[in-house]
Amino acid sequence: MPNRTEPKPQSEQKHPDEWERDLNPDRLAGQNIGAPSETRQRGLRTAYDVKSVHRALRDWRDDDLKQVPIVEPGTRLQQGATYLDLERGAFTATAEMSVRPEQTVVPKDDVHYDTWNRLVAAQKR
């Protein structure tokens, strides 16, 4: 049985403090062991806030749209997490993936399963 008190290899700092930021600016980005991203900490935009999504889901109530978070462009995605690109469909993120400016991405783990199923069905239309 593995010892749970030992640090994971990814969490080991490889460079001196004064050089760490320069040599490894995205340390732990995309790793599930890292701290939550800034976007997750401060909150996400919702489908209600994004005009193109609001128009595409015009038969949804405003309260429902406010429950659908939209990941900000440039945000690095969590490795192994499932997301829905409203143009291309569902996908599982890898560590190097981030949201491109033209994408509208919804994180599955932040959406109620009924809402997720409605989104997937709406995306397929």
What is the tens place of the pLDDT at every residue in 2-57?
555 566 666 677 778 787 777 777 766 666 555 554 444 445 789 999 998 988 89
Instruction: Tell me, yes or no, whether 1 lies in a domain.
Output: no
In this prediction, residue 12 carries a pLDDT of: 72
Q: Is the pTM of this model over 0.85?
A: no
In this prediction, residue 1 carries a pLDDT of: 45
Identify the weakest region by mean pLDDT among 7-16, 65-74, 85-94. Answer: 7-16
- 25: tokens are 């600016």
Instruction: Tell me, yes or no, whether 33 lies in a domain.
Output: yes
Pinpoint the alpha helices (H) of 1-125.
17-23, 38-42, 51-56, 62-65, 113-124
| Strand duo 69-70 + 89-92: pairing | unpaired
Q: What is the mean pLDDT of residues 112-119?
A: 93
Yes or no: say if 79 and 31 are a contact pair by the CB < 8 Å rule: yes
Instruction: Tell me, yes or no, whether 40 lies in a domain.
Output: yes
Sort 23 into a burial class: Cβ within 10 Å, 0-12 / 13-18 / 19+.
exposed
- List pLDDT tens digits, range 98-109: 999 999 999 999
Instruction: Tell me, yes or no, whether 10 lies in a domain.
Output: no
Instruction: Tell me, yes or no, whether 91 lies in a domain.
Output: yes
Instruction: Tell me, yes or no, whether 4 lies in a domain.
Output: no
User: How many domains are contained in the chain?
Assistant: 1
Instruction: Tell me, yes or no, whether 2 lies in a domain.
Output: no
State the residue range of the domain holding 57: 15-124
In this prediction, residue 37 carries a pLDDT of: 47
